[in-house]
Amino acid sequence: MREQWLARASAPLPVSWLVRLSRERLYRPMYHTVRGDEPLPHVEHLYPTLPRTRFERDLDALLRHFDPVALDDVPDWLEGRRGGRPGFFLTFDDGLREVLDVALPLLRAKGVPATVFVNSAFVDNRALFFRYLASVLVDHVAHQPPNTVTEQAVMSCLGSAPGVDLRQALLGVPYAQRSSLDRAAELLGFDTSAFLDRQRPYLSVEQLKQMRADGISIGAHSIDHPLYRDITLDEQLRQTQESCAFVRATFGQSACTFAFPFSDVGVSSTFVERVAEERIADRLFGGQGFRSEGSELMIQRHAIEGRAGEMEGLIRADHVLALLRRGLGKYRVSRPNATVEPC
């Protein structure tokens, strides 16, 4: 609502003026997937997916105002070493198959590079992210409702609070309790391995390798997608180090770019410093929109899915917000000094 208002309020100004006023040189939209003709039950109950036609309109809007930028050129654009039009840098989190099947033909046709961030435990469909399992179980019970006895057993295994329904209970399971979703799947007669074989939600190593010829670069997104502020500093470092080691070894690259799973909000400055000192990753991507912080390692991006309105309005809103944040002294990301260790 607020950003739609910002987009409307800025409508008399051309986008190029807004971008210049904001002093931003690189717009960084982030996606997960693009919906083609297949249903996506593992995603559909988490956030609204954008159809192919909408993604194509997004690309056209981006190309009207910005030049496409590849991962290796991001530092040059951020540091203002490129003249001419501002740039945009596109990313996809989670390594989902529709990036190849639906998005890539459009990216290729329009000459737009992108970066895909993968979870090392999920590539090749070896396992399913716990939130995707929750979504697919919601879909499963909608088509095959359990009897009362089974539903009570599932609710008890999920440890759900009173007054919560089965859908809310499934979608409310946090990373620390993710094994309860595996037990719920068993009780509900849902075969996760068969789903992985049938749906093939993730890209394979071979597909990712081939996509690099089409301007797609690969980065890491943790091992199995925990919310970083909920895990210990040691576990944050392990998840980052091991997923980067996987990307380096699998794709034969010396650099590793990392995107935080869920969010970087609440992650300590100690984590960012340790990643820099120990050269665990070469870049860290968050999702807090136009903001900056002390470390050059950190770059923030703009979530696109789940926001109301077309890309033109989102570009306007994000650049007006950058202006407001700078004006109000809220542009800089503030981080706790140390991770608050979960009890």
Sign for the pseudo-dihedral over CA of 193, 199, 202, 204: positive
Instruction: Provide, rounded to whole angstroms, the least separation between the CB of residue 86 and Zn ion.
Output: 26
Give the nearer residue to Zn ion in terms of CB position, either 94 or 101.
94
CB of 4 to Zn ion, least distance (A): 26
CB of 94 to Zn ion, least distance (A): 4
Token pair in block for residue 299: 């770059």
Closest residue to Zn ion using C-beta atoms:
93
- Smallest distance, Å, CB 295 to Zn ion? 21
CB crowding 279-317: b at 16 or more within 10 Å, else e: ebbbbbbbbbbbbbbeeebbbbbbbbbebeeebbbbbbb
Q: Which is nearer to Zn ion, 229 or 325 (CB)?
A: 229
Which residues neighbour 236 within 8 Å (Cβ) at sequence distance 6 or greater? 228, 267, 271, 339
Strand 67-68 and strand 29-31: pairing? unpaired
Q: What is the smallest separation between the CB atom of 259 and Zn ion, expressed in angstroms? A: 7
Instruction: Determine the Cα–Cα distance for residues 200 and 13; give it in Å rounded to an integer.
Output: 45
Closest CB to Zn ion among residues 77, 130:
130
Residue placing its CB nearer to Zn ion in the complex, 113 or 261 = 261
Rank residues 56 and 242 by Cβ distance to Zn ion and give the closer one: 242
Helix (H) or strand (E) holding 245: helix 233-251
**E strands of the chain, at which residues?**
26-27, 29-31, 67-68, 87-88, 90-93, 114-118, 216-220, 257-259, 283-286, 298-300, 302-303
Rounded least distance, CB 109 to Zn ion, Å: 26
Chain residues in the site for Zn ion (CB under 5 A)? 93-94, 261
Q: Which two tokens stand for residue 231?
A: 């895990």
Q: How far is the CB of 221 from Zn ion (least distance, A)?
A: 6
136-164 b/e (C-beta count within 10 Å ≥ 16 → b)? bbbbbbeeeebeeeebebbbebbebeeee
Would you say 281 or 320 has its CB closer to Zn ion? Answer: 281
Structure tokens at 199: 């749906």
Alpha carbons 335 and 10: distance in angstroms, whole number: 31
The smaller minimum CB distance to Zn ion, of residues 32 and 325, is found at: 32
